[in-house]
Chain A
Amino acid sequence: MSGGVVLAEVWWEQLLHGILSWEFLQFVVAFASIFGFVMTSAVILILAERKVMAWMQDRYGPLHTGPWGLLQTVADVGKLLLKEDIHAGKIDKAVFILAPSVFLAPVIASFAVLPFSPYISLPGAPLATGIVYLIAMSSLDVVGVIMAGWGSNNKYALIGGLRSAAQMISYELPLVLSLVSVIMLTSILRDSGIGTIAIKDIMNFQMAQNWPGKGNPVWDFIFEGFTPWAWFILVQPLLVVIYYTCGLAETNRSPFDLPEAESELVAGYLTEYSGMRWALFFLGEYGNMTIVSAITAMLFLGGWSGPGVAFLTAPGMAIGWQVLGNLLALFYFILKIYLLCGVFIWVRTTLPRLRADQLMQFAWLILIPTTLVNIVLTGALYLVLNALGASNLVFLIVLGVVNWLMLFGFFWVVSRATTASTRRAMAPAIRARQRLAALTAAPSAPRLPEPERTGVTGAGATSGR
């Protein structure tokens, strides 16, 4: 009896110590700051999206709440917080209530491994498996979407949830594969031959050690740690495009916003949600956008590097300059994130949305083969050039040229493929009509018997198109 009591005391004491410990406080602060960042970022992004879309569409956008409508989203958040949380009848209550949290939690967790500047980072940032962790978190999102779709007891929501599951799982693959080549690059560039998947390390690979006018303080100030010619976007432009496209699909943004296609599915898995639960989904979506943009900026655009950052934060500088350098780094990083989010918005105003089967086709028949070919090509090029005795610089230049050519080839293939798939899609409908017309002279032909009908009109051929 006494043993059990002692055990319980130990357990409680340990928990108490854990909660009151320095590490726990760290995590609390980390969570609060991430949540604050996601929230603020979402508010700013929603406003920016509405304003930018309005400018592109020849209208004003929000105008009356605050100066130039700047407080519109703040007011919206207030409204959403105060709104009634409506539960429709016969929903699966536990699933329905949990879904927004399940959707939002991985988004917030993703930020844990993102460094924001040389010194500003969260406790998880040194994690050596940064990219793997990020991908794992972004894959978890789909669970929340399916839960929302299932728990809503609504056919539109269910279709939206299932579409989303298929879409997110399909686009996960090219997304991962497009990052593999970057990791290969790091393993080639490092002398030890062992690459890295830590985000900060990959970023550091994009800072060249030499720049024009080295030694001159002005040039040093600008170019130390800011060498755009060494960014991976120049070496692997195709992967940036593919990664970004997959990011669009991952975050359910237009033109891949089928799960919440409002013209077909009303609001997809969001249909039955209202108030703050609905807002949580939105928060998650915009948080996802930020994550995708942040990873693109880190892996391909040099992260926080910009004029002055490395110069000011170099060891030996006064603490005031160090702080300024960090703030500058934060500014550059967030600027890059928002510029990339701007591309999201730009795409949204321009493009119509794809059909579900075309979406799958695009992922499996175009994106995955392209990324696989790129991996093989990168490896083969390195082996060949290495055997010829060429330096890493030559390899990077050759790889860059090949990749830029592949980028234009990719666009050509995509345009050809859409035309071809369109023709294929056109064929069954036309053939079906012709056969129906031949079968019966009457215009309103009766429905054919079951097996033939599926054959003729292509009904049920969900994977055949």
Chain B
Amino acid sequence: MATNQGVNRPPLEGEAPGELRSEEMILNMGPQHPSTHGVLRLVLTLEGETVVDCTPVIGYLHRGIEKILENRTVMAGIRYMDNADYLSPMLNETAYVGAVEQLMGIEPPRRAQYIRLITNELQRIASHLVAIGTYLLDLGAFTPILWTFRDREGILSLFEALGGSRFNVNYMRVGGVLHDFPKGWLQQCEAWCNQFEKNLQELETLITGNEIFEARTQGVGYVDPQQAIAYGLTGPMLRASGVNWDLRVNRPYMAYREIKVNPQVRQEGDCYARYRVRMQEMAESLRLVRVAMDQLPGGPISTRTPIALRPPRGETYFAIESSKGELGIYFISDGSEYPWRAKIRGPSFVNLQILPELLRGHKMSDVVAILGSLDIVLGEVDR
């Protein structure tokens, strides 16, 4: 289109001489593009501003994490799980150690389970904060991302106090967790919760009910429940389409067997519903953190497990409800210190598959609106 062909170009196929006809334009979006959330590449076919077709190209962030896991001992592999979905490392670690524990038949002490729940829910809030902030940035609002990152910083500081590292915490261990809460951590967490409750309300006021935001998201990227199930969507994507499925409720694991989760479901199935589900889940996670801190039992934080861990021969599948959906680890052990195979079922990867289906027929501006609402992390898609 933008080439300087002028009027002297040869006639197109099926075009009479002298007749003007419009062509479809192929637009390459990414892998370096402000709003493809990392290095996703979308090859869009445009008819004017309308998307006719879309081909996602992935693999630009492939680091071979599954292969790396095979070459590390089980305990050493936990650290690499942090890098899969780099926005929710705690959840990744929980899934990995949960799989190993399931294979070995270890039940972590109750206190460890509660600590895991608290950190997992904080991590879920952190991940949703990034999702909502970047989503609003995609839609052209500058402020929410800075507000959400401010609150996320608080969570990262809490993790730093806990595991010594802000981002790749490396905190979970097979049979428990690395450290108990340091002195004053619970008060700090409580203070953060109180502050976040206010900030969340502020964020709601800023975004929800904004007419431009509603006009941009309502009715855009509709997924009906059958389609959502058929594509294997999980997490907020699925629950926004009206399917009440939450592994914390339907397949409860660890402390979720004791603490009841209210799954957040909405019926609209569009981008707005997905945004609302994430907002509601943050409030719900905040409640869970508080409940867990109230009911926090005493006792040891870990079972006695050797560092050189040898899971028995066998295979298992263990899945948790990550911030983006069902995060499953398919773990095969040959009885050695190294996993024979550790397959990650990344929710981002599965949720991304519906993208071309959703984009067809929408405007070009809706591409970012829909892509942002999927909340994918390319680190998990490519692994």
Q: Complex Cα distance A425/B220, Å?
A: 8
B residues in contact with A422, CB < 8 Å: 214-215, 218-219
Contact, CB under 8 Å: B33 / A266? yes
Contact, CB under 8 Å: A433 / B47? no
Contact, CB under 8 Å: A257 / B140? yes
A57-B147, A153-B2, A155-B2 known; A255 vs B140 contact (CB < 8 Å): yes
Q: Complex Cα distance A318/B138, Å?
A: 59
Of B34, B137, B214, B366, the contact of A266 (CB 8 Å cutoff): B34
B residues in contact with A158, CB < 8 Å: 1-2
User: Interface readout for A342-379 with B: 1 if CB under 8 Å, 0 if not?
Assistant: 00000011111111111000000000000000000000
Q: Does B367 contact A (CB under 8 A)?
A: yes
A residues in contact with B365, CB < 8 Å: 258, 261, 264, 355-356
Contact, CB under 8 Å: B363 / A460? no
Contact, CB under 8 Å: A351 / B141? yes
The chain B residue with its CB closest to the CB of A57 is B146
User: Interface readout for A404-445 with B: 1 if CB under 8 Å, 0 if not?
Assistant: 000000000011001101110111111011100100000110
Contact, CB under 8 Å: B143 / A56? yes
> Which among A415, A432, A433 has the greatest number of chain B C-beta atoms within 10 A?
A433
A57-B143, A154-B2, A159-B49 known; A352 vs B210 contact (CB < 8 Å): yes
Q: Does B150 contact A (CB under 8 A)?
A: yes
Of B33, B48, B222, the contact of A462 (CB 8 Å cutoff): B48
CB of B105, distance to nearest CB on chain A (Å): 38
Q: Does B13 contact A (CB under 8 A)?
A: no
B residues in contact with A425, CB < 8 Å: 215, 218-220
A258-B365, A263-B34, A351-B210 known; A58 vs B216 contact (CB < 8 Å): no
Contact, CB under 8 Å: B222 / A430? yes
Q: Does A201 contact B (CB under 8 A)?
A: no
User: Interface readout for B362-380 with A: 1 if CB under 8 Å, 0 if not?
Assistant: 1111111000000000000
Contact, CB under 8 Å: B4 / A415? no
> Which among A153, A357, A429, A444 has the greatest number of chain B C-beta atoms within 10 A?
A429
Q: Does A288 contact B (CB under 8 A)?
A: no
The chain B residue with its CB closest to the CB of A257 is B140
CB of A155, distance to nearest CB on chain B (Å): 5
B residues in contact with A254, CB < 8 Å: 140, 142
Q: Does A459 contact B (CB under 8 A)?
A: yes
Contact, CB under 8 Å: B212 / A354? yes
A57-B146, A264-B368, A352-B140 known; A437 vs B212 contact (CB < 8 Å): no
Q: Complex Cα distance A63/B324, Å?
A: 37
CB of B10, distance to nearest CB on chain A (Å): 19
Contact, CB under 8 Å: A264 / B146? no
B residues in contact with A459, CB < 8 Å: 47, 50-52, 360-361
Q: Complex Cα distance A422/B271, Å?
A: 12
B residues in contact with A154, CB < 8 Å: 2
A356-B49, A422-B215 known; A92 vs B4 contact (CB < 8 Å): yes
The chain A residue with its CB closest to the CB of B138 is A263
B residues in contact with A150, CB < 8 Å: 2
Q: Complex Cα distance A457/B227, Å?
A: 16
Q: Complex Cα distance A354/B140, Å?
A: 8
Contact, CB under 8 Å: A460 / B1? no
User: Interface readout for B194-236 with A: 1 if CB under 8 Å, 0 if not?
Assistant: 0000000000001000111111101111101011001100000
A residues in contact with B237, CB < 8 Å: none
Contact, CB under 8 Å: A58 / B139? no
CB of A206, distance to nearest CB on chain B (Å): 33
A residues in contact with B231, CB < 8 Å: 443
Contact, CB under 8 Å: B227 / A155? no
Contact, CB under 8 Å: A429 / B362? yes
Of B139, B215, B367, the contact of A421 (CB 8 Å cutoff): B215
Q: Does A202 contact B (CB under 8 A)?
A: no
Contact, CB under 8 Å: A429 / B220? yes
Q: Complex Cα distance A156/B2, Å?
A: 10
Q: Does B35 contact A (CB under 8 A)?
A: yes
Contact, CB under 8 Å: A152 / B146? no
B residues in contact with A414, CB < 8 Å: 211
The chain A residue with its CB closest to the CB of B139 is A352
Q: Does B68 contact A (CB under 8 A)?
A: no
The chain A residue with its CB closest to the CB of B150 is A58
Contact, CB under 8 Å: A263 / B139? yes
Of A59, A157, A419, A423, the contact of B2 (CB 8 Å cutoff): A157
User: Interface readout for A87-98 with B: 1 if CB under 8 Å, 0 if not?
Assistant: 000101000000
Q: Complex Cα distance A186/B362, Å?
A: 47
30 sample A-B contacts, Cβ–Cβ < 8 Å, listed by A number: A53-B143, A150-B2, A153-B2, A157-B2, A255-B212, A261-B140, A263-B35, A263-B137, A263-B140, A264-B367, A266-B33, A349-B142, A353-B141, A354-B216, A355-B215, A355-B216, A356-B49, A357-B363, A422-B218, A425-B218, A426-B218, A426-B220, A429-B221, A429-B222, A429-B362, A434-B224, A437-B224, A457-B361, A460-B48, A462-B48
- Ranked nearest first, the 4 interchain pairs of A and B with the lowest CB-CB distance are A426-B219, A457-B361, A353-B140, A443-B230
Interface of B toward A, CB cutoff 8 Å: 1-4, 25, 27, 33-35, 47-53, 136-143, 146-147, 150, 206, 210-216, 218-222, 224, 226-227, 230-231, 270, 357, 360-368
| Given A157-B2, A429-B219, 16 more pairs with CB closer than 8 A | A155-B27, A159-B27, A257-B140, A261-B365, A350-B141, A351-B141, A351-B212, A355-B363, A418-B212, A418-B215, A419-B214, A421-B215, A426-B218, A429-B220, A457-B361, A462-B48
